[in-house]
Amino acid sequence: MKTPYITLDQVKDIAQTYPTPFYLYDEKGIRENARKVYKAFSWNKGFKEYFAVKATPNPSILRILKEEGCGTDCSSLTELQMSDACGFHGHDIMFSSNDTPLEEYKVANELGAIINLDDFTNIQELKDTLGSFPETMSLRYNPGGYFRIANTIMDNPQDAKYGMTTAQLIEGYRILKEGGVKHFGMHAFLASNTVTNDYYPTLAKELFELAVKIKAETGVELDFINLSGGVGVPYKPDQKPNDIEAIGEGVHRVFDEVLVPHGLGDIRIFTEMGRFMLAPYGALITKVIHFKHTYKEYAGVDACAVNLMRPAMYGAYHHITVLGKENAPCDHTYDVTGSLCENNDKFAIDRELPELEKGDYLFIHDAGAHGFAMGYNYNGKLWSAELLLREDGSVKLIRRAETPKDYFATLDIDDCMKKYL
């Protein structure tokens, strides 16, 4: 069973100042988890977690992670700008994108970020754009085929739009070496939200063996290998969570088996675990406002898919706790719905919950990554506030709720909208 990190009384107090729906992040949980990650990889002297800004793009969250030693993984101009504003500079920023506007390479280079190229043709484009290669460069790898752990297919890299083939990768390092690059990295992302301690070690072994091949064929000795993301969280209560200490030790084992004997024991390990770093430490808080009794029992809430689109878009499961009824029997079945003019606007389908009443507050778990960040404005719905539950128990507003004036701001060119601006 999943346990909320806040009580009903606390939410009632918060809602007097910040009406629902709102996101609430747990600073204590974020910090403790970040420290566990660094402990798990402490055997690697250059280890660094580059938090995927796309997962939770909020300056307050980024600053917390910066204090815990993390860098940022950016994929757009605004993510670079937010990282810069939060004090991330130089190699504390990893810039990994695809179909990249050339101007964004210039910005990344001006910030001193490590640029990780997705496509072979980007190599010449980057040189033409910047005039020369930066001294440190990274290339993204895609092995094709199916990515398996034991006999289980975890994902299908050959259908992914990301990364270079083995041949392209090796030729890319030759070009970069001839072009004056001095420090080289490799990046790969082969599966998403894996709930197994074997994903990183299996991926690492494949990349470590490739690093040995690259050295043999090009003379390039990689400076770092970026395992990217993919380490997931147990969205369902019956799933066993990943053990980051076991994962780190698994990577350590294959590191010693593969890299050390080939003189590559100084390679630094990087990760980009947006979901693992934040998902369990953010929740969407929403209030029950309506009931409908037709062919099913519907419980309508004041949030909708614009606040958390994963259930509507992917059919993703997010556990729901009814605050104040944590120990009540789950003897009623509901579809928990939002107010969008879309039938898939449902946070839960046929979910067994305690009997709901108007005014009940729902704690929607594991929304701290790819939750608020994937919001949108369909039906003219407005983005919610984001709040931080501090370690001392106080609550801080870290993003105000959107207003109609914000929504209409880009229509300031149309005189008819001045009434609302």
Q: Identify the CATH number of the domain in which residue 347 sits.
A: 2.40.37.10
What amino acid is encoded at 329 in this protein?
P
On the 0-12 / 13-18 / 19+ scale of CB atoms within 10 A, 88 is buried
In contact, 370 and 274? CB cutoff 8 Å = yes
What residue numbers bound the domain in which 367 lies? 282-411
Q: Report which secondary-structure segment, H or E, holds 399.
A: strand 395-399
20 falls within a domain: no
Same domain, 275 and 286: no
Instruction: Show the tokens assigned to 219.
Output: 């003379």
DSSP for residue 229? S
Please check whether residue 216 is in contact with residue 209, taking contact to mean a CB–CB distance below 8 angstroms: no
Residues 371 and 338 in one domain: yes
Q: Would you state the pLDDT for residue 153?
A: 44
- Among 279, 311, 342, give the residue marking a domain's end: 279
Buried b / exposed e along 326-351 (16+ C-beta atoms within 10 A): eeeeeeeebbbbbbbeeeebbbbeeb
- CA pair distance 15, 10, nearest whole angstrom: 9
Would you say residue 21 lies in a domain?
A: no
Give the H/E segment covering residue 109. Answer: helix 102-110
Asked if residue 376 and residue 270 are part of one domain, the reply reads: no
The position carrying tokens 């998403």 is 192
Does residue 108 share a domain with residue 130? yes
Residue 101, number of CB atoms within 10 A of its CB: 11
**Residue 402 CB neighbours (<10 A):** 17
Is 12 in a helix, a strand, or coil?
helix
Kindly give the confidence (pLDDT) of every residue in the chain, 421 residues in length, as a single tens digit, with 9 standing for 90 and above. Answer: 899 999 999 999 999 999 999 999 999 999 999 999 999 999 999 999 999 999 999 999 999 999 999 999 999 999 999 999 999 999 999 999 999 999 999 999 999 999 999 999 999 999 999 999 999 999 999 886 565 665 454 455 666 678 899 999 999 999 999 999 999 999 998 787 888 999 999 999 999 999 999 999 999 999 999 999 999 999 999 999 999 999 999 999 999 999 999 999 999 999 999 999 999 999 999 999 999 999 999 999 999 999 999 999 999 999 999 999 999 999 999 999 999 999 999 999 999 999 999 999 999 999 999 999 999 999 999 999 999 999 999 999 999 999 999 999 999 999 999 999 9
In a domain, 13, yes or no: no
Cα 323 from Cα 348, distance rounded (Å)? 16
* 196 lies in the same domain as 212: yes
Last residue of a domain, which of 231, 253, 279?
A: 279
Q: Is residue 11 part of a domain?
A: no
With H, G, I as helix, E, B as strand and everything else as coil, classify residue 354.
Answer: coil
Catalytic residue IDs: 341
Residue 30: Cβ within 10 Å count:
24
Structural domains in the chain (count): 2
Q: Are residues 164 and 293 in the same domain?
A: no
Q: Which one of 279, 295, 314 terminates a domain? A: 279
Q: Give the integer Cα–Cα distance in Å for 188 and 200.
A: 11
DSSP state string for 119-175: STHHHHHHHHHHSS--SEEEEEB---S-EEETTEEEE-GGG-S-SB-HHHHHHHHHH
Tokens (6 digits) for 202: 């299996």
337: β partners: 300, 346
Question: Quick check: 269 and 227 in contact, CB under 8 A?
Answer: yes
